[in-house]
Homo-oligomer: A and B are copies of this chain.
Amino acid sequence: MGDKRELTVELGERSYPIYIGEGILEDAGKLFVQHGISIKSPIMIVSDVAVAKHHLPLLQSVLEEAGYSIATAIVPSGEGSKSLSVFEDLVGQALKAGLDRKSTIVALGGGVVGDLAGYVAASYMRGIKFVQVPTTILAHDSSVGGKVAVNHPLAKNIIGAFHQPELVLYDLNTLQTLPPRDVSAGLSEVVKHGLIWDAEFVTWCDENAERLLALDPDALGYALYKGCSVKAAVVSRDERENDLRAILNLGHTIGHALEAVAGYGELLHGEAISIGMVGSARLAVRLGAPEDVYTVTKHVLRRVGLPTKLPAHLDTNAIMDAMMHDKKFQEGTMVFIVPVAIGQVEINKSVSSALVREIVEELKREE
């Protein structure tokens, strides 16, 4: 059994702890009480069909044993549930279950469930408490920082809030059923946290790639601890994305465009971000960074099983158009997060679109 790890996201009165380890869910009742989750008001656990089947019975019974009154709301698996209509339905279920201003909503699942349930918690009665129980590797990213949202037919994540959880329970046992492709895609954001902040951790990911892909609990626990720690450090310094927090978007400008053009599903989020990070590294070298920014970035992403080449059939014009609509372009300025070395990035607000176009073309010819 691996170590249990704990870290705190420092946000003043909104600070909260993250617990990472095997069997954390069995301690959920004790941890809820310890962190002030009211036992008098009903709790609603939101999950999706796939996750609920595996993990809801344990979480529900542990909380009920601790004296909590539990309602459950199960949504279809997949991005389609991040809609206002599912949101409205969940608010109705919360009302029928009698949730009041001291109630708590628990998100049991990956990023979709976390974003959706978090936005319900942010909005219900103008904001009630929220607990994240992530069940994917990718969700280590969305469970830190309080960004919650649903999609609009015209744009992803455009309707949302900043709403910090009370605590995050990361049980490594829930990750054991992940398909290999989701493991690699989840590791994309883990590696990203190394690339923007911690060169030593990038080396560690390279050296421990096999253990990570085999879901070795010790390696996985350490990687999630490091990934969450970097994200927490950044978010603590800039909760509402005024400046620094933008560095977390390394690879995301190209990555989001690829997801939009490929149609959600062909490329997983982590895969699109992987290709985007290789693009950012190429851009960095063109702007004067050392060559190893590119070679190391590409190497470590391939080591954890991620694609680094842009699918050649995706139209370059369509990709460029999608980037122009990305919400990170403020007041017409084109912003890119660009590495200056492994473990260090800068925000470049004047990248020319002609250069970006060249990089997109190069990514199609990547080995």
Contacts and interface: CB of A to CB of B under 8 A. Distances in A.
A158 B100 contact: no
Interface stretch (A122-130, A184-192, A342-350, A353-361): A122-130
Nearest to A161: B126
Contacts of A155: 95
Given A92-B152, A155-B95, A331-B41, A161 B122 contact: yes
A126 B162 contact: yes
A181 interface: no
Interface string A264-289: 00000000000000000000000000
A160 interface: yes
Interface string A153-165: 1110011111000
A204 interface: no
Contacts of A127: 161-162, 240
Given A327-B100, A331-B41, A331-B102, A123 B88 contact: no
A304 to B, nearest CB: 30
Contact of A161 (B88, B123, B158): B123
A-B complex: 6 closest residue pairs judged by Cβ atoms? A126-B160, A40-B331, A95-B154, A123-B159, A84-B88, A91-B152
